Chains A and B, each alone.
Chain A
Amino acid sequence: MRAARTSVVAAISALATITAVAGCAQKSDAKDSDAVQVTASDDACEVSKTSFPAGHVKLAVENKGSKVTEVYVYAPGDRIVTERENIGPGTSASISAEIKTGSYEIACKPGMKGHGIRQKVSATGKGAAAKRDPRLDKAVAAYRAYTQQQADETLPVAQKFADAVKKDDLEGAKKLYAPSRVGWERTEPVAESFGDIDPKVDVREDGLEKGQKWTGWHRLEKSLWQTKKITAADHDLADQLIKDLKDWQKRVGTADITPTGMANGAKELLDEVQTGKVTGEEERYSHTDLVDFEGNVEGAETSYKLLKPVASANDPELAKELDKQFAAVVKLLDKYREGEGFVSYDTVTESKRKELSDAVNALAEPLSRLAAAVVTK
């Protein structure tokens, strides 16, 4: 856990703006006749116009289908600009948002599931939209899907962990602790960009601000491994963790993800390994640092693989080096596998920790050049 990052930090302010506007459709000064009419059905998503002036945009949605639906407006890279859930069959809803000049997609999701039925639209006006590389938009969209998938998959495991805590099942909770964190660790730079959630779920005792109540995974880690006792307060903490993680799951799609942000996010994941995991600080009670280590590396590798088509075209040497160093780190981690996880990190000696640190440096250094390599020449 760290303070909010610069590369993805825009998510917070963007989100604040969007929720504020989306929540007050009545105050819209766009006339109904100016609204984009969206007609949703079970197998179609029709829009009355595919081009509209940038600025305050209103969508008038009508669900003519038989399933409950939801409507999203996506910016390139599948960033959620605004969305409205639970639009029942036969009902209408109104959505509004501030939309800048550029290309967007409107999606209807009958049954509130999946990729949705999409329509390309554009907001026009002053200042031409920046030129975009479709390969990079694709990478960003795929990475966004990955972050959502990680959050979606985390919830059930975290729920099991929370249930074990609430049943006072000490051993069961210990087994589920590290696995419940993997999805978070894989997408940490994005997860951390929610500056309000991160301090609730992933803060360590020494990271607390004065007056801040200690909640989240590491508070429970201390109960499970150090005091070895689950208290009534821990039951509440388990509930709170699930509540906060659900908040993350719901908002992860709104994070502002860019290609260079993805590249630097990958490097930041290695920074997390270097500053928190290699030192054994992150999991000081459970010593499950190597599980987090692997999660961070997997997340970084996912970003890299998605950006690789562009990076290897611009800088083939760098891509070769990164392939090699990712493989080297994974091979080194393999040495420490035990059962379904890893050996306890307190059994890893200083000289072995240095070997891990050197391997992380060898990967992170070229990884820091990935952002430059994905910027289209």
Chain B
Amino acid sequence: MTDETGTTPSRRALIGWGGAGLALGAAAAGGAAAALGGGADDTETVADSGAAVPFHGAHQAGIATAVQDRLHFAAFDVTTDDRAELIALLKEWTKAAARMTQGHAVGGGAVSDLAEAPPDDTGEALGLKASRLTLTIGFGPTLFTDKKGKDRFGIADRRPEALIDLPAFPGDNLDAARSDGDLCVQACADDPQVAVHAIRNLARIGMGKVAIRWSQLGFGKTSSTTPDAQTPRNMMGFKDGTRNIAGTDTAALDKHVWVSGKAGPAWLAGGSYLVARRIRMHIETWDRTSLKEQEDVFGRDKGEGAPQGRQHERDEPNLKAMLPTAHVRLAHPDSNGGARILRRGYSFTDGTDGLGRLDAGLFFLAYQRDVRDGFVPVQRRLARTDALNEYIQHVGSAIFAVPPGVRDADDWWGRALFS
């Protein structure tokens, strides 16, 4: 980090930044293969530009978009049973999201002309740049059929087959108050205030129709969708997610992330499936684990991040050089019949728990074309044999179908599902 932030950028690099911003936009909007240009500084420099990521496009922004620094993820319960009301809310949310992602305030702004009334926008993002804010919506299984089996919105028959109720995995210790949800919104931005502002305003607009069920703040992205950038470290100090699907690799995205028109319901074509897991790390016990064991658990060295037996971070791993229980070995596509997922997780720390232990870990977010041959088999294998399990626990879980992008100003989140 010090190398990257401490260096004064050259003029050439400065010129490069603007270009990177545009390229990102193109990637988000059309999924076009847009090269990010060389250099490990790209994500950072784009962040500094405060650029806006286009809201409209074939896919929702916030999936293939180069991962921003900060996250506010919120899961909502829909509290109304009225289909028209839900649709009206989705339209209103879309309008607000389109404004906020472009750096504009909601509705009449943060300062209204009437002193006695609260302004439309909550105001904490006033004067801040768009900061590459993306807002990505997902629909949970309970939106289609609620927990009592009721088809509240007349869409039960539109529930995709792949939107399964996730099976119980060994070692799970899931808290219902941090799991599930009828809807989710993932807000990613390079400025935490911008991400929080977005969720807060959507929640406010939604009151009476939806209520926040749980939410999670994240920082320090733990995986990269930009292959030329250094892989960030997780809270255990390791680089994890090096082999992630790149946001620019359209072939891999089409194969592993985007739902095709043939494979799923038509309303979801161009969308994806999202699995969210709150993974608590037993930080204190990890910190007193020997370096050798730490490296064996991951199957990487801690300093460079190279797979065991290799030199560099991105060298092709030699799985056989790792312990059979090593995390990298078990998670690798070669161990899972080629299954690949696009990870977009963030570190979190919510202070300390009642015992003074750091309440920290990984808020795991993964996008994939089908969870049944994406997250599920990989997690099954990990839950059973991963050496890392001694130091982690899955404490929250949710799954969502993520609709395709909002095409233009007349389109809205979920239009194809509700039309």
Contacts and interface: CB of A to CB of B under 8 A. Distances in A.
Contacts of B77: 358
Nearest to B176: A351
Interface residues of B, number: 12
Given A358-B79, A362-B79, A372 B207 contact: no
Nearest to A351: B177
B208 A365 contact: yes
A361 B205 CA distance: 11
Interface string B195-219: 0000000001001110100000000
B208 A372 contact: no
Contacts of A372: 114, 116-117
A372 B177 CA distance: 36
A321 B116 contact: no
B167 interface: no
A15 interface: no
Interface in A338-375: 350, 354, 358, 361-366, 368-369, 371-372, 375
Interface in A308-326: 321, 325
Nearest to A371: B116
Contact of B211 (A264, A361, A363, A364): A361
B391 to A, nearest CB: 30
A325 B116 contact: no
A375 B204 contact: no
A360 to B, nearest CB: 10
Contacts of B127: none
Contacts of B354: none
A372 to B, nearest CB: 4
Nearest to B203: A361
B118 interface: yes
Interface string B114-154: 10111000000000000000000000000000000000000
Interface in B202-247: 204, 207-209, 211
B207 A365 contact: yes
A260 interface: yes
B116 A260 contact: yes
A364 B211 CA distance: 13
Given A358-B79, A362-B79, A371 B208 contact: no
A368 B117 contact: yes
Interface SS of A by simple majority: helix
Contacts of A362: 79, 207-209, 211
Contacts of A325: 208
Contact of A368 (B79, B118, B209, B211): B118
Contact of B114 (A321, A363, A375): A375
B117 A365 contact: no
B208 A321 contact: yes
Contacts of A375: 114, 116-117
A366 B208 contact: yes
A233 B177 CA distance: 45
Given A358-B79, A362-B79, A264 B208 contact: no
Contacts of A366: 208
Interface in B149-190: 177
Contacts of A363: 208
Nearest to B212: A358
Nearest to A361: B207
Contacts of A365: 204, 207-208
B116 A361 contact: no
A20 to B, nearest CB: 29
A361 B211 CA distance: 9
A366 B114 CA distance: 16
Contacts of A358: 77, 79, 211
Interface string A237-260: 000000000000000000000001
Interface in B60-77: 77
A369 B204 CA distance: 13
Interface string B76-89: 01010000000000
Nearest to A325: B208
Nearest to B77: A358
A227 to B, nearest CB: 29
A264 B116 CA distance: 8
A34 B114 CA distance: 41
Contact of B208 (A263, A354, A361, A369): A361
Nearest to A354: B211
Contacts of B117: 368-369, 371-372, 375
Contacts of A361: 207-208, 211
Nearest to A365: B207
Contacts of B207: 361-362, 364-365
B74 to A, nearest CB: 14
B81 to A, nearest CB: 12
A325 B118 CA distance: 19
Contacts of B118: 368-369
A358 B210 CA distance: 9
With a 10 A CB-CB cut-off, give which of B118, B177, B209 has the most chain A CB atoms. B118
A335 to B, nearest CB: 15
Contacts of A350: 177
Which of B77, B116, B118, B177 has most chain A Cβ within 10 Å? B116
Nearest to B112: A372
B107 to A, nearest CB: 11
Interface of A: 260, 263-264, 321, 325, 350, 354, 358, 361-366, 368-369, 371-372, 375
18 contacts: A263-B116, A321-B208, A350-B177, A354-B211, A358-B77, A361-B207, A362-B209, A363-B208, A364-B207, A365-B204, A365-B208, A368-B117, A369-B117, A369-B118, A372-B116, A375-B114, A375-B116, A375-B117
Given A358-B77, A361-B208, A362-B207, 4 more contacts: A350-B177, A364-B207, A368-B118, A372-B117
Question: 6 closest pairs, A vs B, by CB?
Answer: A362-B208, A372-B117, A358-B211, A365-B207, A260-B116, A371-B116
